[in-house]
A = this chain, B = another copy of it.
Amino acid sequence: MPAAETTDALNQRLADSGLRSTPQREVVYRVLIGKRDHPTADEVFARVKSELPTISLATVYNCLETLVQCDLVRAVNVERGPTRYCPNLRPHAHFHDEKTGRTHDIDLPPGLLDQVKSVLPPGYDPTSVEIIFRGKATKPSS
């Protein structure tokens, strides 16, 4: 995916929400897309600084929150501790490797989320479903 394309997608979403395009938002988003290892705000901050040395941590928090509002990024809390950010828009679950502390994306087959939702009694109207596995991954990485 060319850089221009993801930037266009971002600008589109920002415009749709009446928000402005800024260099900070663009770089934060590109950093997330570029390395999808579920970084914390601090980690995003470190990566963005190399490209935008004057950015502040507070701005990184603001940009991340903006991206979450635009539905371009999901905030993930697999464990107590800092929130992590995930730009994967496909329906997927998370596998938290308790050995390494890393979180892997697990693609879900079509229909699985609907199947899971079907366990809800009437009166519960879900807008989202999150599935988190925890355990050991013997797979190399992701």
Give A contacts to B, CB under 8 Å: 75, 77, 79-80, 83, 93, 95, 98, 104, 106, 108-109, 112, 115-117, 119-121, 123-139
Contacts and interface: CB of A to CB of B under 8 A. Distances in A.
A123 B135 contact: no
A37 B72 CA distance: 32
A119 B129 contact: no
A104 to B, nearest CB: 8
B134 A131 contact: no
Given A79-B77, A80-B75, A119 B108 contact: yes
A127 B96 CA distance: 10
B126 A134 contact: yes
A138 B109 contact: no
A133 B95 CA distance: 17
